[in-house]
Amino acid sequence: MAGDAKTSRAAVWPGIIALAIAAGYLIALLAVEKQSLIIALLAVGIIVVIAAAWFGLLDGVSHAFSDHEDALGGFAILALLAVGAFFHEDHFVLLLVTTVLLYSVATLGLNIQFGYAGVLNFAGASFFGIGAYTSAVLNAHTALPHLIVLLIGGLLAALIGSLLLLPVLRTRGHYAAVVTIAFALLFKTFLEVNDVLGGPQGMQVKGMTILGWSFNDNIEIGGISLSFYMNYFMISLLLLIGAFVVVRRLERSWIGLNLDALRLDETAASCFGLDVVRWKITAFLIGNFLIGVAGAMFGMVGSFVAPNNYTFADSLILVSILLLGGIGNPWGLIVATFIVVVVPEKLQTIQEYRFLLYALLVIGVLLFRPEGLLPRPVRRYFPGWQP
């Protein structure tokens, strides 16, 4: 009776259809301006998802994703490119979608830390800010190539994070979480009193240039003009793809297993040879590196950094994305980032109640779907692999 579990792979088309619908829906949501229409669209979206779940349609989608992840990853990229192409002249929408892409990179970093290693980081926005200020300072005062600046932003976030947490990661319990909260609160004050970094007003960030190609110029190709944000959209998409691949490979390796093992039972893990401190630090460093790179990119995209953009409240938003999306599931995190970033931006009426909305959303998810919108499936080291 060996090996008779299931020998056929799931169909891929439910995944493709889901991606096509999602892309179409996103385009509609981003294109519509009238508030009543947006509310109607959101209501329709919620009802469709609930109905699809009710009728079991989502199972086919999740099976498709677990068996054909590489192919569907390709389709997801196409879907995002379609969204970008549709809005190729629209500064506002491209900036919004680029923001989502970079926030997704940051939450993927947090996911390695909290989702896998179980180390809570309540200073995500601060480390993101370290990246952003790195590009502000380095672009202004040095001639370093901007790709190197991204790298430095990531390394700096990792370095500062590890100086902060090395002493506490050795201890059990949630000391690390407390330290990150303290850091998040201090970070903003530090920026505000620091004149070199522009104080409360913040500072300008020079736009990105790669090999003489300036990202802040609009693009003309054969009579079609593209918003300059198209540059940033494309490079942010590349960063997201890179971060996604890193997170995926990490999860589907012995390292991902180590992180799960130490999160679930430190004592048992150390009885089987695991160096708990080493792996916690490794997870924290990789996570912060991703957050810092995303922040450095974000600084150049926004062309401006100020202390108010990197507060404790922003860190909480990042954590809420994690809870909402499904801790440990990178697909869920990207969906959740879209929801959390795009909805308040489109629904001007709720802007002021943004945090209330997040709080309700998180409470609702924790009550009714504690594992998030897209729960993490059991680890498959190679999608579709059969013994």
Residues at the interface with other proteins (CB under 8 A): 1-5, 246, 249-250, 253-255, 257-258, 260-261, 264-265, 267-275, 282, 378-382, 387
CB of 91 to other proteins, least distance (A): 37
Which lies closer to other proteins via its Cβ, residue 7 or residue 36?
7
CB of 215 to other proteins, least distance (A): 29
Which lies closer to other proteins via its Cβ, residue 91 or residue 380?
380
CB of 374 to other proteins, least distance (A): 15
Which lies closer to other proteins via its Cβ, residue 91 or residue 249?
249
Which lies closer to other proteins via its Cβ, residue 209 or residue 282?
282
Which lies closer to other proteins via its Cβ, residue 217 or residue 265?
265
CB of 274 to other proteins, least distance (A): 6
Write the CB contacts of 213 (distance below 8 Å, at least 6 apart in sequence).
Answer: 231
Which lies closer to other proteins via its Cβ, residue 22 or residue 257?
257
CB of 103 to other proteins, least distance (A): 23
What angle do the packed helices 91-110 and 13-31 form, to 10 degrees? Answer: 130
Please tell me the distance from the alpha carbon of residue 79 to that of residue 49, in angstroms, as a whole number.
19
Please report the sign of the dihedral spanned by the C-alpha atoms of residue 159, residue 164, residue 170, residue 175.
negative
| DSSP letter for each residue of 93-132 | HHHHHHHHHHHHHHHHHHIIIIIIT----TTHHHHHHHHH
Give all strands (DSSP E) within 203-283, no chain letters: 203-204, 209-210, 213-214, 219-221, 224-226
Which lies closer to other proteins via its Cβ, residue 24 or residue 242?
242
Please tell me the distance from the alpha carbon of residue 143 to that of residue 196, in angstroms, as a whole number.
19
Please tell me the distance from the alpha carbon of residue 280 to that of residue 264, in angstroms, as a whole number.
13
CB of 1 to other proteins, least distance (A): 6
Please tell me the distance from the alpha carbon of residue 225 to that of residue 217, in angstroms, as a whole number.
11
Give all strands (DSSP E) within 177-316, no chain letters: 203-204, 209-210, 213-214, 219-221, 224-226, 304-305
Please tell me the distance from the alpha carbon of residue 235 to that of residue 230, in angstroms, as a whole number.
9
Beta bridge partners of 304: 204
CB of 7 to other proteins, least distance (A): 11
Structural contact between residues 155 and 292, judged by C-beta atoms closer than 8 angstroms:
yes
